[in-house]
Structure 1
Amino acid sequence: MTFRTLDDAMKSGGDLAGKTALVRVDFNVPMEGGKVTDDTRLRVALPTIQKLRDAGAKVALLAHFDRPKGKVVPSMSLQPVVDDLEALIGAPVRFADDCVGDEAKAAIADLDAGGVILLENVRFHAGEEANDPAFARQLAQLGDLYVNDAFSAAHRAHASTEGLARLLPAYAGESMRRELEALDAALGNPTKPVIGIVGGAKVSTKLDLLKNLVGQLDKLAIGGGMANTFLYAQGFDIGGSLAEKDMEATAREIMQEAADRGCELLLPIDLIVATEVKPGIDHRTVEAGDTLSADDKILDAGPASVARLNAAIDGCKTLIWNGPLGVFEVPPFDAATVAVARHVAARAKAGSLVAVGGGGDTVSALNHAGVSDDMTFVSTAGGAFLEWMEGKPLPGVLALRG
Structure 2
Amino acid sequence: MRAEPPLLSRQDLRPGQRWVYSAGFNVGPDLRPAGRIDCEVPDLRRLCDAGARVALLSHQGSHRDGTALGLGHVASHLARALGRPVGYHPANATDDAVARADELRDGEIVLFGNTREHAGEERGDPALARRFARLGAAVAVGGFAKAHRAHASNAAILDFLPGCAADNLVTEARALDPWAGRDPGRYSVAVLGGVKPEKTLVGLTGLDRAYDLLIPGGVVLNTLLRALGHPIGRSALGPEPERCADAARSVLADGRAELHVPDRVIVRRGDGRPATVDVDGVPDDAAVVDFELAPWAHERLARLRALGGRALVAGTPSRYTDGFTTAVTPLLAAFADPGVDALLLGGDTVAELPWAGPSSTGGGSALHYLADGTCAVFDALRRTRTIERTPTP
Deviations 1:11-48 (A, max 9, x none): 3x3343332221111344324xxxx5547243343222
TM-score, length of structure 2 as denominator length: 0.72
Q: Distance in 1 between matches of 2:196 and 2:158?
A: 36
Deviations 1:334-389 (A, max 9, x none): 13312211321333xxxx44422224863355x2xx21x21x2233x444445556
Name the CA shift for 1:230/1:49 in 2 (closer, same or farther; >3 Å): closer
Greater radius of gyration (CA): 1
* Matched AA of 1:16: R
Cα shift at 1:145: 2.7
**1:341 is the counterpart of 2:332:** yes
Cα shift at 1:136: 3.2
Name the counterpart of 2:4: 3
Cα shift at 1:102: 5.6
Q: Percent identity?
A: 27
SS in 2 for 1:310: helix
Aligned with 2:310 (options 298, 307, 318): 318
Name the CA shift for 1:252/1:54 in 2 (closer, same or farther; >3 Å): same
SS in 1 for 2:381: coil
SS in 1 for 2:111: strand
Name the counterpart of 2:389: none
Q: Distance in 1 between matches of 2:90 and 2:226?
A: 56
Cα shift at 1:301: 1.7
Equivalent residues of 1:58, 1:115 under 8 A apart? yes
* Matched AA of 2:38: R
Name the counterpart of 1:51: 46
Cα shift at 1:186: 2.0
Cα shift at 1:162: 0.9
Please give the residue correspondences for 1:1-400 in structure 2 after superposition, counting only pairs within 5 Å.
1-4=2-5, 8-11=7-10, 13-31=11-29, 38=32, 40=34, 41-67=36-62, 76-79=69-72, 81-96=74-89, 98-100=91-93, 103-123=96-116, 128-187=121-180, 193=186, 194-199=188-193, 206-223=200-217, 227=221, 253-258=250-255, 261=256, 263-268=257-262, 271=264, 299-302=290-293, 304-305=295-296, 307-314=298-305, 315=307, 317-331=309-323, 333-347=324-338, 352-359=339-346, 362-365=349-352, 367=353, 370-371=354-355, 373-374=356-357, 376-379=358-361, 381-388=362-369, 391=372, 394-400=375-381
Equivalent residues of 1:323, 1:360 under 8 A apart? no
Equivalent residues of 2:28, 2:60 under 8 A apart? no
Cα shift at 1:134: 4.7
Higher relative contact order (CA 8 A, sep 6+): 2
Cα shift at 1:50: 1.6
Q: Distance in 2 between matches of 1:144 and 1:113?
A: 14
Q: Distance in 2 between matches of 1:98 and 1:202?
A: 29
Name the CA shift for 1:232/1:147 in 2 (closer, same or farther; >3 Å): closer
Name the CA shift for 1:308/1:229 in 2 (closer, same or farther; >3 Å): farther
Structure 2: which 5+ runs fail to align?
A: 384-393
Equivalent residues of 1:65, 1:123 under 8 A apart? yes
* RMSD after superposition: 4.5
Name the CA shift for 1:391/1:240 in 2 (closer, same or farther; >3 Å): same
* Matched AA of 1:3: E
Deviations 1:193-238 (A, max 9, x none): 3432224589997255322322233332334575577578779x88
* Matched AA of 1:338: T
Structure 1: which 5+ runs fail to align?
A: none
TM-score, length of structure 1 as denominator length: 0.71
